[in-house]
Amino acid sequence: MSLFRVSTRNKQAIRETHDVPRHIAIIMDGNGRWAKRRLMPRVAGHRKGVEALRGVIRACGERGVTHLTVFAFSSENWRRPQDEVTLLMELFLRALENEVARLHENDIRFRVIGDLSGFSERIQALIRDAEMLTRNNTRLTFTVAANYGGRWDIVQAVKKLMAEGVTPEEISETALAQHFSMADMPEPDLFIRTGGEQRISNFLLWQLAYTELYFTDSLWPDFDADALDAAIASYRTRERRFGRTSEQVRAAS
Ligand code: IPE
Ligand code: IPE
Ligand code: MG
């Protein structure tokens, strides 16, 4: 079953105008509050959140976004009540079992970044299989950050560099960046956080240096294609200067 309504031919046309961010990174926040407002258990919000994610993956594919990275579980989320952590792990397991085939059919590459050793053997095996199955897909790279922390990512990159025996002189931004979990992907153009909080919560730290930030009060289970379009519309109004002046940017374009 195809997730997408438009052909890939449209993608090129959209991309050339730079209207569409290549890479969108999302903190999917507000599931618990969504459920609480409906007097439902928090896990009902997480379940609804998986549905919302399905819609956003489809919408990104239709709009020609080539990389979507979502924060599903932070290295700090283990601090939550044991019941909630257990239910989140079950949901992650079910999603891996049920959704990967559809991602593959839709030419979506699936990746997980984070410290996978924190997960059960079963989850780790499903992740490995899904990454292997979808490794040659090119339409959209969909990355889930799970047991991920931006600080963890920087530390593990430094550890890898040091294990290679590099000298202080050899350490550079480029050398370090090659060891991050998302080394092979473009840095996010647009960052979205739902749920009303205006913070990064230890998501991508290094990679967000020049990303356009967008915060919305929408709770994640309510975030749909229209909400995504509103975020992209906001992105289009931004002038990305990367340190230069507005005049320089306009002269170059
Ligand atoms: C985000 O929703 C999902 C995870 C962190 C796993 P929350 O569960 O943080 O929802 P709120 O912030 O309590 O509403
Ligand atoms: C950030 O949300 C992590 C995820 C969405 C997975 P949190 O709800 O855990 O963030 P804080 O605790 O409000 O900063
Ligand atoms: Mg939250």
The CATH number covering residue 140 comes to 3.40.1180.10
Mean pLDDT, residues 174-197 taken together: 97
Spacing, Cα 230 to ligand 1 middle (Å): 22
- Please classify residue 26 by burial: count the beta carbons closer than 10 Å to its beta carbon, then call 0-12 exposed, 13-18 middle and 19+ buried: buried
Closest CA to ligand 1's atom 12: 30
107 within domain boundaries? yes
- Residue span of the structural domain in which 48 resides: 23-150+187-234
161 within domain boundaries? no
18 within domain boundaries? no
pLDDT of residue 253: 82
28 within domain boundaries? yes
Q: Which helix (H) or strand (E) holds 239?
A: none
Q: How many residues does the chain have?
A: 253
Two tokens, residue 203: 């998501």
Spacing, Cα 197 to ligand 2 middle (Å): 9
Dist. CA 234–CA 192, nearest whole Å: 11
247 within domain boundaries? no
Two tokens, residue 129: 């299989």
For residue 32, the ligand closest to its alpha carbon is 1
Is the distance from CB of 12 to CB of 22 less than 8 angstroms? no
pLDDT of residue 133: 98
Mean pLDDT, residues 55-82 taken together: 97
- Which residues line ligand 2 at a C-beta cut-off of 6 Å? 27-29, 71-74, 77, 197, 199, 201
> Helix (H) and strand (E) counts for the chain?
9, 6
Please name which of 111, 115, 180 lies closest in space to residue 147, comparing C-alpha atoms. Answer: 115
How many structural domains is the chain composed of?
Answer: 1
Residue 52 has pLDDT above 80, yes or no: yes
Rounded to two decimals, the pTM is: 0.93
112 within domain boundaries? yes
Dist. CA 235–CA 226, nearest whole Å: 14
116 within domain boundaries? yes
Is the distance from CB of 94 to CB of 51 less than 8 angstroms? no
For residue 31, the ligand closest to its alpha carbon is 1
217 within domain boundaries? yes
The percentage of residues in the chain with a pLDDT greater than 90, rounded to a whole number, is 92
Closest CA to ligand 2's atom 2: 29
pLDDT of residue 15: 36
Spacing, Cα 128 to ligand 1 middle (Å): 26
pLDDT band at 4 (very low <50, low <70, confident <90, very high): low
